[in-house]
């Protein structure tokens, strides 16, 4: 299967803390990859190096190479705003903007100039909400606040927001750990549906969840990638 992202001998430091110690991995387009391991082993840190989220932490330093479609994402020529659209991120705690449902999804496409008209934008919003499995629930109340929904709906809105800017990769950092079992099941089902259209990486501390949603599992321990292979 085609390789979407690669990491080669990646190290991440927070000041004197050596959080990632020489990780190399290939992220496949066709598979959901789960990052598994005990708290503090570096899963979230490594995920954040994959779209340069850690750039905002002054003390963070990255060594080694990470590529997207063969392009070094830490090269000086890399447009980081563009990168974060291509490699979208969904967080543990759903974090919709305190704006309307419509505006949550339209914001990114507007910044990136993806819609030529209002009709275009309406189409992007509808398509993104459909892909995130949220359209039927919200189509009659797009002007309601994105923060006034259930946690599961908010998380699917955040996924729609990521999808709206046409990402190639979607990174999910424990996307279900703030959700109840029914909302969790919906997100897991959604991950199945999204597979193949996006390279997906999900950080989880839950082995059963990794088994349910992923085809590849990467085990982290003390900043090392200790095992990587087919999910069993
Ligand atoms: P995990 O996601 O597996 O729980 P993290 O990536 O959050 O692990 O943390 C890996 C290591 O990096 C830990 O030692 C943690 O304390 C440290 N760390 C994480 N974030 C920061 C930060 N912003 N500043 C300093 N150290 C951090
Ligand atoms: P405001 O806060 O100014 O009311 P919003 O940011 O909430 O505006 O966006 C509401 C927008 O949602 C409207 O511009 C409207 O065109 C759009 N809209 C309403 N219904 C639909 C629909 N079924 N499909 C796509 N867009 C819609």
Ligand 2 pocket list (CB less than 6 A):
100, 102-103, 122, 125-126, 139, 142-143
Q: How far is the CA of 139 from the centre of ligand 2 (A)?
A: 10
Name 8's bridge partners: 65
Given this model, what pLDDT does residue 58 score? 81
Q: Which residue among 110, 117, 142, 157 has the greatest number of ligand 2 atoms within 8 angstroms of its CB, and so is best to mutate? A: 142
C-alpha of 9 from chain center: 22
Q: What is the pLDDT of residues 136-165, one digit of tens each?
A: 999 999 999 999 999 999 999 999 999 999
Given this model, what pLDDT does residue 232 score? 84
As a whole number of angstroms, the distance between CA 32 and CA 45 comes to 19
pLDDT at 1 over 80: no
Q: Kindly write down the DSSP assignment for every residue of 166-231, as one continuous string.
A: --SEEEEESTTTTS-HHHHHHHHHHHHHHBTTBEEEEE-S-HHHHHHH-SEEEEEETTEEEEEEE-
Q: Which element (helix H / strand E) includes 232?
A: none
Ligand 1 pocket list (CB less than 6 A):
14, 17, 19, 37, 39-45, 57
Query: Which pTM was predicted?
Result: 0.89
Residue whose C-alpha is closest to residue 110's, from 98, 121, 100, 96:
121
Q: What is the pLDDT of residues 40-67, one digit of tens each?
A: 999 999 999 999 999 888 889 999 999 9
Given this model, what pLDDT does residue 127 score? 98
Given this model, what pLDDT does residue 32 score? 98
Q: How far is the CA of 40 from the centre of ligand 1 (A)?
A: 6
Given this model, what pLDDT does residue 59 score? 86
Q: Which residues contact 13 (CB under 8 A, 6 or more apart)?
A: 19, 59, 60, 61, 63
Name 202's bridge partners: 34, 172
Confidence tier at 229 by pLDDT (50, 70, 90): very high
Q: What is the pLDDT of residues 12-31, one digit of tens each?
A: 999 999 999 999 999 999 99
Q: How far is the CA of 46 from the centre of ligand 1 (A)?
A: 9
Q: What is the pLDDT of residues 85-124, one digit of tens each?
A: 999 999 999 999 999 999 999 999 999 999 999 999 999 9
Cα angle at 156 between 141 and 54, to 5 degrees?
125
């Amino acid at each position: 299967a085609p390789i979407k992202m690669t990491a080669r001998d990646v190290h991440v430091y927070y000041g004197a803390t050596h959080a990632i110690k020489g990780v190399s991995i290939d992220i496949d387009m066709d598979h959901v990859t789960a990052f598994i391991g005990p708290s503090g082993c570096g899963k979230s840190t490594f995920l954040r190096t994959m779209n340069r989220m850690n750039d905002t932490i002054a003390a963070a330093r990255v060594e080694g190479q990470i590529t997207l479609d063969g392009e070094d994402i830490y090269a000086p020529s890399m447009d980081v705003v563009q990168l974060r659209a291509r490699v979208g991120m969904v967080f543990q705690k759903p974090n919709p903007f305190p704006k309307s449902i419509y505006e949550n999804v339209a914001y990114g496409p507007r910044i990136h100039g993806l819609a030529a008209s209002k009709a275009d934008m309406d189409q992007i919003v509808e398509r993104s909400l459909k892909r995130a499995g949220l359209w039927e629930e919200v189509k009659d109340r797009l002007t309601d606040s994105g923060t006034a929904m259930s946690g599961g709906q908010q998380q699917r809105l955040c996924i729609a927001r990521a999808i709206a800017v046409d990402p190639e990769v979607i990174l999910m950092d424990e996307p279900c750990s703030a959700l109840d079992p029914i909302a969790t099941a919906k997100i897991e089902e959604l991950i199945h549906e999204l597979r193949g259209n996006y390279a997906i990486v999900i950080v989880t501390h839950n082995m059963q969840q990794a088994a349910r949603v992923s085809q590849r599992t990467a085990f982290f321990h003390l900043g090392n990638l200790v095992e990587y292979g087919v999910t069993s």
